[in-house]
């Protein structure tokens, strides 16, 4: 049951070590570490006590709860962004939320991807709607231990898809302001793809602790990820890390690895912009299957669960450390 703990701790220790190296060298080792989650146990994993990781999670949560909350009773608000659509931002956000929640971290996920809300599907809640007992504030849903709010729980997604920039931004700000959030350690916000007006407005107006950028190693995606990094730097939002998704494919028959979208592009980008790498994820049908079926992460593929646990722990460690304050916070509360 606690195999993931041993693996995750060993993986994080190894990852932190290899990330001190140049991206090309780091890529080879990170890939090996990631691949090991699919078969052989991580080298050295057996020597790491599960208690160490549990202690680490507890310590991180304690540190996070000592800090002033980012917004109401929410300690940390983390934007999950990507310059380009379709790189796996929503899948990553949902699985990180489930990974955190499964280990007792009080976690919420706000689906701000107004033009393509996917939280209802990713959590198996298609057709569900939020309720508002007082006709003013909305009660979020809860699934797989994650507190959830999505534009998809309010309106028909086709209705939202025709909203123009200001209308969409306003709707999203209301979504965060007018939801009755319980006490949370972390609220992840799945942002709409791109770096246009909506993203810029939201980045300026949301009460943000920091941002994660998800990208594939492909040049096209990297160019857009670069724009997202630059946008966050311009609005003074700390970059908590980069997740490289679809980093490589491992053939289930022969075990050969193919870097479908290029090699280590995300790592090079992260190094250039001094953004920590939280982890790499393979292109794997288990990830797509679990996303489509809406089942809990820990009920799906064990190797996948281990990888997301590793990345979520890296995020938790970042949040519990010294994150520079986002100084340009401006919260808009609307009554209507």
Q: Which residues bind ligand ATP (CB under 6 A)?
A: 82, 85-91, 113, 116, 118, 193, 245-246, 281, 283-284, 287-288, 291
Q: Is 48 annotated as a binding residue?
A: no
Q: Is 279 annotated as a binding residue?
A: no
Q: Is 89 annotated as a binding residue?
A: yes
Minimal distance, residue 253 CB to ligand ATP, in Å:
17
**Residue 184: strand pairing partners:** 74
Nearer to ligand ATP, 54 or 286 (CB): 286
Kindly tell me the sign of the dihedral angle through the C-alpha atoms of 122, 124, 129, 130.
negative
Q: Up-side HSE of residue 286: CA atoms within 13 Å toward CB? A: 21
Nearer to ligand ATP, 289 or 331 (CB): 289
Minimal distance, residue 166 CB to ligand ATP, in Å:
21
Minimal distance, residue 150 CB to ligand ATP, in Å:
12
What residues have CB less than 8 Å from 15, skipping those under 6 apart? Answer: 30, 33, 277, 279, 310, 314
DSSP structure class, residue 118: -
What residues have CB less than 8 Å from 237, skipping those under 6 apart? Answer: 79, 203, 208, 210, 211, 326
* 103 C-beta neighbours (distance < 10 Å), count: 22
Nearer to ligand ATP, 154 or 213 (CB): 213
Are the C-beta atoms of 271 and 278 separated by less than 8 Å? no
- CA–CA dist 165, 264 (Å, integer): 34
- CA–CA dist 5, 167 (Å, integer): 44
Nearer to ligand ATP, 61 or 277 (CB): 277
Q: Is 90 annotated as a binding residue?
A: yes
- CA–CA dist 239, 210 (Å, integer): 6
Nearer to ligand ATP, 11 or 245 (CB): 245
Minimal distance, residue 242 CB to ligand ATP, in Å:
14
Token pair, residue 63, equals 């540190």
Nearer to ligand ATP, 191 or 240 (CB): 191
Nearer to ligand ATP, 75 or 312 (CB): 312
Residue least distant from ligand ATP (Cβ): 88
Q: Is 86 annotated as a binding residue?
A: yes
C-alpha separations of 220 from 12, 245, 272 in Å: 29, 14, 17
Minimal distance, residue 258 CB to ligand ATP, in Å:
13
Work out the burial of residue 51: count CB atoms within 10 Å of its CB; fewer than 13 is exposed, 13-18 middle, 19 or more buried: exposed
Minimal distance, residue 91 CB to ligand ATP, in Å:
3
Minimal distance, residue 246 CB to ligand ATP, in Å:
5
Q: Is 83 annotated as a binding residue?
A: yes
| Residue list for the binding site | 83-90
| Residue list for the binding site for ATP | 83-90
């Amino acid at each position: 049951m606690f195999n993931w703990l041993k693996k995750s701790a060993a993986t994080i220790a190894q990852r932190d070590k290899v990330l001190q190296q140049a991206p090309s060298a780091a890529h080879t080792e990170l890939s090996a570490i990631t691949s090991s989650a699919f078969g052989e146990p991580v080298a050295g994993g057996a020597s790491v006590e599960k208690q160490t990781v549990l202690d680490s999670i507890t310590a991180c949560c304690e540190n996070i709860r000592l800090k002033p909350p980012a917004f109401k009773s929410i300690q940390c608000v983390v934007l999950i962004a990507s310059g380009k659509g379709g790189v796996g931002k929503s899948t990553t956000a949902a699985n990180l939320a489930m990974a955190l929640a499964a280990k007792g971290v009080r976690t919420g996920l706000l689906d701000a991807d107004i033009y393509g809300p996917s939280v209802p599907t990713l959590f198996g809640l298609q057709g569900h709607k939020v309720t508002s007992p007082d006709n003013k504030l909305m009660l979020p849903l809860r699934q797989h231990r994650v507190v959830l709010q999505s534009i998809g729980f309010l309106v028909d997604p086709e209705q939202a898809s025709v909203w123009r920039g200001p209308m969409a931004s306003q709707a999203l700000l209301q979504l965060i302001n007018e939801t009755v959030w319980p006490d949370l350690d972390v609220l992840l916000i799945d942002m709409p793809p791109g770096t246009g007006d909506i993203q810029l407005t939201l980045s300026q107006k949301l009460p943000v602790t920091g941002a994660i950028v998800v990208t594939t190693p492909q040049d096209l995606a990297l160019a857009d990820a670069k724009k997202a990094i630059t946008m966050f730097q311009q609005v003074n939002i700390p970059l908590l890390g980069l997740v490289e998704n679809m980093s490589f494919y491992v053939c289930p028959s022969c075990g050969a690895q193919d870097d479908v979208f290029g090699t280590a592009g995300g790592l090079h980008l992260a190094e250039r912009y001094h953004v920590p790498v939280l982890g790499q994820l393979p292109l794997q049908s288990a990830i797509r299957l679990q996303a489509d079926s809406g089942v809990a992460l820990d009920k799906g593929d064990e190797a996948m669960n281990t990888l997301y646990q590793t990345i979520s722990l890296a995020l938790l460690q970042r949040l519990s450390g010294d994150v520079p304050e986002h100084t340009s916070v401006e919260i808009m509360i609307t009554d209507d």
